[in-house]
Amino acid sequence: MGRGSRGHAFRRCGRPLVIVDTSAWVEYLRATQSPTHHTLRSALVSDAPIATPAPVLMELLAGCITEEAALDIQQLLARYEILAVEGLAHFGHVLTGLEQGSALREEDVTW
């Protein structure tokens, strides 16, 4: 994402982008029946726009004990957008927004 797209970075097709972290994928993959598992399952079933940061994919793959499990995760996440990390400068924009307290909320981003 370039600087010009920052204002639209968290929306796809007019809907809020669901950014899924490692713990949420683990809850879903283990079918824990937790609120996180059900929330992610509902988002997947409703065809909500889903994205996962690249480091999350790496963490999930690192946790696989078989090549088959790794392939299954790759195939699952290939259906969704993988967000590339653009270096520390990328995180600086997020921290600035959090410090200001309102910039991200104005873009309908929830944590």
Beta-carbon count within 10 A of 36 CB: 17
For residue range 97-106, what is the model confidence (pLDDT) as tens digits? 555 554 444 4
Q: What percent of the chain has pLDDT over 90?
A: 57
Cα 53 to Cα 25, 33, 101, distances in angstroms: 12, 24, 23
The pLDDT value recorded for residue 91 is: 60
- Is 45 a residue whose pLDDT tops 60? yes
For residue range 59-92, what is the model confidence (pLDDT) as tens digits? 999 999 999 999 999 999 999 999 988 766 656 6
- Is 34 a residue whose pLDDT tops 50? yes
CATH of domain 8-106: 3.40.50.1010
Average pLDDT, the chain: 78
Rounded CA-CA distance 64/86 in Å is 26
Rounded to two decimals, the pTM is 0.68
Q: Computed from CA positions of residues 80, 21, 2, 4, in that sequence, does the dihedral angle turn out positive or negative? A: positive
How large is the average pLDDT for residues 4-25?
A: 72
The pLDDT value recorded for residue 111 is: 40
Rounded CA-CA distance 106/4 in Å is 17
Domain ranges of the chain: 8-106
Which bin fits 87, alpha (ψ -120 to 50), beta or left (φ > 0)? Answer: left
